[in-house]
Structures are given as structure tokens and as C-alpha cells.
Structure 1
Amino acid sequence: MTFGITPRRAAGVALTLAAGLLLTACASAEPSPSGSTDEPGEFVRGETLRLGILQEPLSWDPSQAHVGHLLQPYQAVYDTLIMREPDGTLSPMLATEWSYNEDLTELTLELRDDVTFSDGEAFDAEAVKVNVENFKAGNGRQAAQLADVEAVEVVDADTVVLELTQPNPALEYYLSQAAGLMGSPAAIATEGIATLPVGSGPYVMEAAGSVPGSQYVFTANESYWNPELVKFNRVEMKVLVDVTARVNALVSGQIDATIVDARTAGQVEAAGKTLSANQVDWTGLMLLDRDGTLAPALADVRVRQAINYALDRETMLEQVQLGAGTVTHQVFGPESGAYIDELDERYPYDPEKARELLDEAGYGDGFELTIPTFPGLESIVPLLTQQFADVGITLVAESVPPQNIVADIAGGKFPAAYFFLFQGEPWVAINQLISTEATYNAFDSMTPELQELIDEVRISGAESDDAAKKINEYVTEEAWFAPLYRLDQIYFYDPNTITSVPQTQQAVPSIYNYSPVQK
């Protein structure tokens, strides 16, 4: 590696997608007159926080919210029921406290009684009910987060009960994510919510200054219930899909923080920017069609294992990421509780072994495998293609528009897909990748043995790690995936204008984690 990154480097979900747009504005980070003070040690609100974002929301309807780096824009305008602190601790936000019943099928939330949405509507238990029902009906990319919520009971204005069909160990976590975003019921009832968000968050979107595809502008919510979270008078999010555009914007001072990549990190570091780091995701192949619906070869576990043996992970990590990452053979991360050290040695690079397995499975003459590709995979796809060809597999990369990639993968349009995916708590990963409700179990693969293990995790609560490890062993041995490495997420900020605290298991900081430099 050619740049100085701290031992605990950032890893992430960031996708380098399509050619970005040039920045059009540069704003000052001087403290605002409204926040001025002569008292030493007293916080002074910053003028403008300028962030480079990789993608814009497909819709501002909270039911369509996503996670990872795509959660951050929603956090500017929408509060969540529960807040996730930088270290992952869950703390009160719109819900002041919460508790389960004895069999873990009812979650009771006590709510704040002093919150209004930016359109003047009151936040209360009825608003929670509207939002939960909207999230479920909207069937967005994170709809699985509330799949176990059967009904919402309004007890009184400040108390609501989420009734579950079965225990969900990650529900509190989900309520700090997309499922917990609360919008104004009046706005949710209109089509306008897709383009103009109306929430109770620390900022309010400025419609006049926001241009889809270019930038979104937010101004401070002066009536916000928690003034300590309103740290800037203005937030600008510049849509910069291309990494070169983000680097140029950060180096030239047009933005305060953004994601870059290993090949550009040295340039950014040399310009005096500071790394804000934490490890988040794995990247590699999801071998989705395990019943052979589109690609009959994938129905044979020996073929899926052969694919794993065919991959030279070390070489790909070095050539694509300049070594900025950690080779892995499993989809659960080291901090998840389901991680098993020895599994990261399960599939050493062995093309001969791969060819032997393919021959045993009846595919010694090879077969064709189609995956979707999108901007950002230019370095990895040729390497995959060559390594597959070395064992007789023809890889076909079909171009897909970035905005369609998740829907196409989840919709079962491809037998396999290369992607960047979260390595979080076991139940979150299970319901993202493995269960029949998971977004990325496109063909609903399942066996009685695996379902039994999933059910065990569901009801085990704090004792679920052992069952989760068994799930990890199962999907690794059955080669449901072909992970390559946990890639380092490289997020830089300008230390002259802001400070930035990393958000555990998230590619970018939460919106609350930025503060202006105090003069």
C-alpha cells in the first residue's frame, strides 16, 4: 500500500457506480452569527457541512429507505425511533424506552411527547402506526426489517406496541435503521413524499436549492427537539458517483468529507485530509441459484465449491484494493459473534482442485455463468473472468443500470452476482443473505437443517452466537457464497473544517457524527 492508513482501517459497502457530476458550489464553514459566542468552551454551530455522496435516494418516502451509505441522507430529515450510537449502542431517540413481553412477541415503545414534524403535524403513537404500516406496504429494499411485525397497537398517545408473529432478535437494531424512520403522516399520504421529505429530523430539505442527480440542500430545523444534534446551519449533499469527482472535490475544498478508494487515497492524504475508519463489509460473489433454475450447474455443491477454489483472493485484493482489506472465505465478520477463524482457510486458491470438482459434477467441459455488472467493477470483472476461464467456466458480465442492481439481484434475474454486503450482527446478516425472507436469497434457498438453525438463533437471544456459528459453517461448507475479502472503506474528511466520528458497521458516519471545528 502506498498511503498511511491506521491499523484499524475503514471497510465498506461503498459502490463506485457511474460517472459523477461536477460540483457547482462551495460554501464556507465559518461559524454562523446565530451560533456565535464569546464564552470559551461553548459550542458554536457551523455554517455548512458539505458531503460527497455516492448515490441519491430513489425516493424520499421513508418506506423506500436503504441502509449503509444510503441511510445517511434520510437521517438529515427523519428521526428514527431508536438511535444507534457510533459504537453501536442503542439509545433513546423518538422512543424514550422500550421493552419486550415474556415470549418476545410484543415490543412496547414509550414515545416522546414534545416532537412535531416540519409540517406542524404531531409525532405520537398514531404516527408510528402510520409509518410502520407504510413501511410494510411500501415493500422497499429493506421491507424484510419489519416482516415479523403483524400489527401495531396504539395504547395511548405516547405508547405503542409492535405485535410480532415470532421473535426477531434484530428488531431494536432495525428501528435504528430504515424501519425506524418516522415521516409526517400527512405527507406520507401524498405522492409528494417521494420528492420532498417531511420528517422531524435535525434538518429540513430546501426544495429550491435541491436538484435531483446533483445536490440536496438542508437547513437547520430551528424547532428541533434536540438542539445538540443540529450542529450546522446548512447541510449540502453533492451526488458524486465517480470516485475521481469525489477526490477532486475533497482535495480542492469543495466538500468536507467523502468516500474514496485505495488507488486515490494517497492523493487525498497528501492534501492533508484525515481518515475516519472502521471495517464494515465483505465483497465477493453470491451464488444465488442453488436449485439450478437459471444455471443448472449451481445446483451441485461441488460446482459452488469449485468456484471458491478457483478464486485467487490474495491477488485480487492486491490488484484491486492495493492490499487494503483482509481475505475472507465467510460472510460473517470478526465482530459479529458468528465468525470462525478457521473458516478463513476453507478454500485456498487451487485451480486443480476446482477442475477436479467440476469434472466430478459433470461439468468438466465447463459451463456459462452470467452475473450483473455496473460501474465500479471495471477492475474486478476481468480478474474474475480470467480465473473462471482457467478452470473452464465462461463468465458473462451483463451491464445493469446502477439504480436497478439491487432489484434485479433480489428479483432473481441472475444466477449469481458480485456485490458489496454488510457483515453485522448475525440476525441482520441472516435476514439479508440467508433466510427465505432475505433480500439476497433471491431463489428462497432453504433446507430443514438450515431452517432449524435459523429458528434457534431467533429464540436464543443473547445466547445465539453458537447457533449463528453453525449457520456460518453450513453456508460456507455448502458454498452459498464465494467471498473474496473484507475491503477497507476509505473515508476522508477535512480536519480544518469538521471532525468526524466513525459509525461502527457503517460505511459512512451517521449525520449526527459530524461537528464543525471550533475556532
Structure 2
Amino acid sequence: MFRSKRMAAVVAAVALGLTGCSAGGDASGDQSSETLTLGAILAPTTFDASQSEFANRAPFYQAVYDTLLRMEPDGTLVPMLATEWNYNEDKTVLTLKLRDDVKFTDGTGFNADAAKQNLERFKAGTSPDAQFLAALQTAEAVDATTLKLTLSAPDPAFLGYLSKDASFMQSPASFGNADIATNPVGSGPYVLDTAATVTGTSYSYKSNPDYWAKELRHYDNLVLNVYSDQTSLLNAIKSGTLNGANTIDNNTLTEIEAAGYKVNPLQLNWSGLLIFDRAGTTNPALKDVRVRQALNYAFDSKAMLESIGQGYGELTTQVFPPSSDAYDPSLDSRYAYDPAKAKALLAEAGYASGLTLELPSATLLGPTIPALITQQLKDVGITAQFTDVGNNFIADLLAPKFGVSYMILEQQSDWQLINMKLTPGAPWNPYNYKDPKVDELVNKIHLGTEDEQKSAGKELNKYIVEQAWFAPWYRPQSSFVTDAKTNVEVQTGNAYPSIWSFTPAS
């Protein structure tokens, strides 16, 4: 499912999580004697793995559930419960070899049949990410340590999904438990201490004494506390209660750094305009590529970054991230701020006297962003008319009720991005706009060799930038802060670092 992380925070008043650690607990073998205390603003809605989520809720589940594959901080996939894997020639059959020395905390052994059952439950479950397994046609336990997955069509993102919530492994013996939502039974590094846990407020975990990968566990105990607002989070940081935090924005970084914290930057999203109505269905002007290009030239992206993002971030005019094979550094500056060029393009398109754009707004968006957009567009002869849609911002966008909108969207992996933003049936292509050139390139990415995929990805990226499908301004910086006692490696493609990426600085 799509992740509009920052806008979700604005529209739904939901924030990113935070992390930290504090001393405590007893040493156990090679384990650190510390307790890792992490904070979050989003609590898990359930511990049933078939309904689990990732993103900011990932650490709640990673503590108790292992996955088939593991993603390193740089995005590289490495073995986890699966020790090796390979595709057939047309990439529709994936065979995985599994570990034979893993047990769930109820004593049930992990095997291929357990993996098969978990994947089938997740696909049929109610997780917002259930579509990760949309291509999974059948799962077969060939023997105890061999799992064969048959796909309805190649899915370039499928292996990545097996490192996320789609393959959280829960004991099949617990599927029917009455307390499945509050008492998880996995094979992960920790066991939830239900007696010390207050649902929705604080989650306490103890080490799993039989964990098979103790080198991935750097603390004896884990605590995840849930904070309800940014003020209490900031106060906890400044008082030293927390050793780390994933900040909701960059407004308080000066105060946080003054308190002795290190800023660990990462980029998860891009910010700018979505230009949905490329066929001119509701606004004929948007059908003309010159009008869409004019929208790109109209904005002083550097000023927007300073005003909205406090200068934290990088300017761009492309939606593919630097971690992507499709990324082209030259496209970050394809549309330098040039209001004269914008006016000339509008005149060429027949709109020398101007045009009007209708855009959605919401109270929680605040007055600054609409005011800046209005002024920048006015400078090139475009009138912006904002309508307050209240709590229906996302719903009205995807209905669709607006051809253009301000938005912050996640920079996903290439295949996810394509299927969420570019294909005719993509949820963030609500007018179902279709372009034969895009379809051709997407097909090459879908079915081609690795080299063909990379080449087609770069060509696709350049094409949608030239066709001005979007008008990005910048990639805002997300900031994960840590104190001198804690080291962390931020995670490519996710707001929250993996729990094994936290280590004591000493």
C-alpha cells in the first residue's frame, strides 16, 4: 500500500517514531547489559502477523518476528530465515532454502510449511500491505527446508517484500489463540512481556534465550514507549529520558543538537506538486505538456525548501530517489527557477492571459504552503483556487476531485514507485492516465534482463520528467537523532531503523 509519510502526518496528525536507549538489565553471555528504549507515536493495532504493518510500526514486529530475508541499511538483501534463493529463467518461480535450526518461542519448529502458511495468511489478511503478495499464486513446502513460490507474473520488488511485514513468521500453532492480537509468538530476538506491557502506551520485551542469531541482538531488553505529541517527545529528548528520536520535522533540530544529540539524516520523500490530470479531463490546460513544464519552472524550489523545510533537504525535479537505478543526477536541476520561461511556455500553449488551477487544502496543512503556492503561481499568471476539504484530503485526491495538488510522497523502490504512481491502474494515477511510451518502458522493466531493466528505468525517469508528470521541488530531510551513548544506521527506504541497527556506542 502507498505510504505518503509526511503528508499523512500533516493530514491525519500522525507523526514519525523515535528511538533511544537507557542503561538497565543484566548481562547475558555476549549480550550487552543495556536496555534499548525506543519511542514511537504510532502503536501497533495488533500483533497478529497477518495484519501487521511496516514503516514506523516495524520495530514492534521485528522484535518478535523474523523474516525470510533481511535488508541491510543500504538496501542490500541478505539471508535471514532463508539461507539462499533463486528464480527460474522467467522469474515466476522462486525457490528458497530455509534454516533447520529455528524454533518459535512456543517450541514449534520453523519449517517450509510454517512459512507457506504465514505467506498465505498475510496475502489473505487485512494488512494495508497485503498487496505486497498480490503476485503470489501458490506456495509449496517441497520439503522441510525447501519453499517454492509461484508467481502469476514476475515482480521485481518481490524479494524486497520478503524482508518486510509480508514475511513476518508467526508460529502456526498460535493462529487460533484467543490472545493472538496481544501475545505474539514468533522466532525473533525478543519475547513480549505482556505483564509489563500497557497496550497503546508502553511495550516491554525480554530476550529470547533460544534466539538463533544472537549476533543481531545488541541489548538484553527492549522497551517501546508511545508518545502522543511532539511536545512530550521533545521534552523527553531534552531531559535525557530518550537516547534517540525520529523527529516529526526539522523545526526543533537546533534545540535537539544543543541537548547533545547527533542528527542522522535520511531522505524518504519528495515534496512538490502532483499533476494528475495529464489528459485534461477536468482542466484542458493540463493536457498540454508546455503548461505542465511551466508549472515546474514557476517555483523557486530553493525558497520553498527554506520556507517549508527550514533548508534541510536537496533540490530535485525527479521522483526517483538517489538509491534508484533510474536516478539521474542531471535531472535534479532539469527545471531551474525561471518565471520568464514559465510565462513563455504558457503563452505558446495559448494561455498568455493566464489560467486557473483548483487545488485542495486542509486546516492541518496550515496557511503557509497554500500562500506560497498561490504567490509563486500568481507571478507567472496562474490563479490558484484552494478548497478546504477537511479530513478528506487523501480521499478527495484519489477520487479524483483535483487535477493538481501539493503533496509529499514516499520515494519507493523502482517497481513499487511505478505501480503506485505511473501505471494506468496505479492509486496515485487516479485519472488512469495512459502513455504508450511509459507502458513500453514499464514492460521492459517488468520482463527484461537486469541490464534492460536498468536502462529502461533511466529512460522512463527522463521521459516523465520531460513530460512533466509531476513538479517536484525538493527531497526533504528526515532526521533521526541519537545521543552519545547510541549508534544507529538509518534504513534505506524506511522511516524507522531496523532494531539490529542500534548498538551501544561503547
1:392 corresponds to which residue? Answer: 383
Paired with 2:71 and 2:438, the residues of 1 have a C-alpha distance of: 30
Displacement of 1:204 in angstroms is 2.8
1:277 corresponds to which residue? Answer: 265
1:9 corresponds to which residue? Answer: none
Percent of aligned pairs sharing the same letter: 40
Asked if structure 2 preserves the Cα contact closer than 8 Å seen for 1:20 and 1:240, the reply is no
2:69 corresponds to which residue? Answer: 82
Paired with 2:173 and 2:361, the residues of 1 have a C-alpha distance of: 39
Aligned pair in 2 of structure 1 residues 55, 31: CA closer, same or farther (>3 Å)?
Answer: closer
Paired with 1:195 and 1:304, the residues of 2 have a C-alpha distance of: 50
What amino acid maps onto 1:510 in structure 2? S
Is 1:328 matched with 2:316? yes
Displacement of 1:469 in angstroms is 0.9
Displacement of 1:211 in angstroms is 4.1
Displacement of 1:510 in angstroms is 0.8
Paired with 1:238 and 1:323, the residues of 2 have a C-alpha distance of: 30
Q: Select which of 448, 472, 481 maps to 1:492.
A: 481
Which stretch of structure 1 is more off in the superposition, 106-115 or 178-187?
178-187
Is 1:287 matched with 2:275? yes
Displacement of 1:106 in angstroms is 0.6
1:342 corresponds to which residue? Answer: 330
Aligned pair in 2 of structure 1 residues 305, 153: CA closer, same or farther (>3 Å)?
Answer: same
Paired with 2:287 and 2:135, the residues of 1 have a C-alpha distance of: 30
2:113 corresponds to which residue? Answer: 126
Asked if structure 1 preserves the Cα contact closer than 8 Å seen for 2:298 and 2:339, the reply is yes
Q: Select which of 483, 491, 511 maps to 2:472.
A: 483
Written as runs of structure 1 = structure 2, the 5 A alignment for 1:152-191 is 152-188=139-175
**Secondary structure of the residue that 1:77 maps to in structure 2?**
coil
2:238 corresponds to which residue? Answer: 251
1:305 corresponds to which residue? Answer: 293
Asked if structure 1 preserves the Cα contact closer than 8 Å seen for 2:41 and 2:227, the reply is yes
**Secondary structure of the residue that 2:419 maps to in structure 1?**
helix
What amino acid maps onto 2:483 in structure 1? D
Which stretch of structure 1 is more off in the superposition, 162-171 or 432-441?
432-441
2:80 corresponds to which residue? Answer: 93
2:252 corresponds to which residue? Answer: 264
Is 1:30 matched with 2:23? yes
Aligned pair in 2 of structure 1 residues 229, 321: CA closer, same or farther (>3 Å)?
Answer: same
Displacement of 1:450 in angstroms is 1.0
Written as runs of structure 1 = structure 2, the 5 A alignment for 1:497-512 is 498-512=486-500
Paired with 1:425 and 1:413, the residues of 2 have a C-alpha distance of: 28
Displacement of 1:100 in angstroms is 0.9
Displacement of 1:274 in angstroms is 1.9
Asked if structure 2 preserves the Cα contact closer than 8 Å seen for 1:337 and 1:469, the reply is yes
Aligned pair in 2 of structure 1 residues 408, 138: CA closer, same or farther (>3 Å)?
Answer: farther
Paired with 2:182 and 2:350, the residues of 1 have a C-alpha distance of: 51
Paired with 1:157 and 1:179, the residues of 2 have a C-alpha distance of: 20
Q: Select which of 434, 457, 460 maps to 1:471.
A: 460
Paired with 1:241 and 1:304, the residues of 2 have a C-alpha distance of: 40
Displacement of 1:163 in angstroms is 0.6
Displacement of 1:268 in angstroms is 1.0
Displacement of 1:318 in angstroms is 0.9
1:514 corresponds to which residue? Answer: 502
Q: Select which of 434, 440, 450 maps to 1:452.
A: 440
Paired with 2:202 and 2:370, the residues of 1 have a C-alpha distance of: 31
C-alpha deviations, 1:451-495, integer Å up to 9, x for none? Answer: 110110122343122100111122222322221211112111122
Query: Is there any run of 5+ residues in structure 2 with no aligned partner, and where?
Result: none
Aligned pair in 2 of structure 1 residues 273, 61: CA closer, same or farther (>3 Å)?
Answer: same
Aligned pair in 2 of structure 1 residues 352, 57: CA closer, same or farther (>3 Å)?
Answer: farther
What amino acid maps onto 2:384 in structure 1? I
C-alpha deviations, 1:12-57, integer Å up to 9, x for none? Answer: 9556557689x9xx9983352243x7xxxx55231x2222224334
Displacement of 1:271 in angstroms is 1.0
What amino acid maps onto 1:90 in structure 2? L
Paired with 1:467 and 1:392, the residues of 2 have a C-alpha distance of: 37
Displacement of 1:272 in angstroms is 1.1
Paired with 1:292 and 1:31, the residues of 2 have a C-alpha distance of: 61
Asked if structure 2 preserves the Cα contact closer than 8 Å seen for 1:368 and 1:396, the reply is no
What amino acid maps onto 2:121 in structure 1? N
Paired with 2:263 and 2:23, the residues of 1 have a C-alpha distance of: 22
**Secondary structure of the residue that 1:249 maps to in structure 2?**
helix
Displacement of 1:415 in angstroms is 4.7
Q: Compute the RMSD of aligned alpha carbons.
A: 3.4
| Greater relative CO, 1 or 2 (CA 8 Å, sep 6+) | 1
What amino acid maps onto 2:372 in structure 1? L
Aligned pair in 2 of structure 1 residues 178, 477: CA closer, same or farther (>3 Å)?
Answer: farther
Displacement of 1:285 in angstroms is 3.0
1:231 corresponds to which residue? Answer: 218
Displacement of 1:432 in angstroms is 3.4
Displacement of 1:375 in angstroms is 4.5
**Secondary structure of the residue that 1:275 maps to in structure 2?**
strand
**Secondary structure of the residue that 2:373 maps to in structure 1?**
helix
**Secondary structure of the residue that 2:251 maps to in structure 1?**
helix
**Secondary structure of the residue that 1:488 maps to in structure 2?**
strand
Paired with 1:407 and 1:220, the residues of 2 have a C-alpha distance of: 42
Asked if structure 1 preserves the Cα contact closer than 8 Å seen for 2:14 and 2:42, the reply is no
TM-score normalised by L of structure 2: 0.85
**Secondary structure of the residue that 2:276 maps to in structure 1?**
coil
Displacement of 1:372 in angstroms is 5.8
**Secondary structure of the residue that 2:63 maps to in structure 1?**
helix
Paired with 2:63 and 2:364, the residues of 1 have a C-alpha distance of: 27
